[in-house]
Amino acid sequence: MGGNLNRSEDSVPFIPFYYTWTSLFLAKAPHIPQSISTKLKEELHICLDEHLKGLEDRSQIWGLKNPRSIHLLDLWLTEFPNMKFIHFIRNGLDMAFVDGQALEHHYMHRRSLLADRDFRYVGPSNMALFWAKLNQVAAAQGAHYGDQRYLLVRHEDICSEPVETMRSILAFLSMSVVDSQIQAAAQDVQKPETAGRWRFRPPHEIYAVMSLIRPALEQFGYWSEENWRVVSDTCQSPTLLRKVKTFGLADRLSTL
């Protein structure tokens, strides 16, 4: 979406905008001083003009992709009353064990979202808390605008049921596309090699993450009682823990 994109197909004109404004917006919301709000919106529209350059008729459907848009969901939906927002989410267990550098553009804003006590936890635990807070805040904001303007899409559903998930997205956008186009697009969907990476982490790390963010995992459909039973038993039973060390982590956790 847009003609000026980086390798991740994010809108280049908005990259400096998000770097400049996201943390400030999160820190001040919901009581943003008028002077800051005015300047922020001025720059928002300047970036949007650059993003839409070449689109002669702005009554046409247009879109914008940038991961940090989720931080400013409320701003977008307030500023553009006809806009619809697609909230794309991935399993928090996988995201807890992502390379921090890969999510630097998100993770740099964690001070604005997490409480001081959350920083007692480091590494995957802190990343998991950030994932939970970020997505729960966005989901709550989206619910305020209703299901005509906000749609939650799970990464795992795109991978496992691409045709059905695409149809739901198109219906949300009120777009009519022939079935052959949907089928062709579905062929491009590939499950990433990193899917399920949490399964190969040490059991005590998985246990800590699942314990910390259970409410968010349940809310977004990622909680599994069977997974929890196996991990908690492994961590609490010396016998099972010795088996994990003896036979290899990957073999033991492959049953999750």
Banded model confidence at residue 242, pLDDT cuts 50, 70, 90: low
| 3-state secondary structure (DSSP) of residue 11 | strand
- Cβ atoms of 221 and 227 within 8 Å: the answer is no
pLDDT, average across residues 166-195: 91
| 121-167 pLDDT tens trace | 778 888 899 999 999 999 999 999 999 999 999 999 999 999 999 99
For the chain, percent helix, then strand, then coil, each to nearest 5?
65, 5, 30
* Predicted local distance difference test score (pLDDT) of residue 252: 41
Across all residues in the chain, what is the average pLDDT?
86
Q: Taking 90 as the threshold, does the pLDDT of residue 112 lie above it?
A: no
Rounded CA-CA distance 75/69 in Å is 9
Largest CA distance in the chain: 68
pLDDT tier at 256, thresholds 50, 70, 90: very low
Cα end-to-end span (Å), the chain: 38
- Answer for the pair 66, 10: CB distance below 8 angstroms, yes or no: yes
Read off φ and ψ for residue 95, nearest 5 degrees.
-70, -25
Q: Which of 79-83, 106-110, 252-256 has the highest mean pLDDT?
A: 79-83
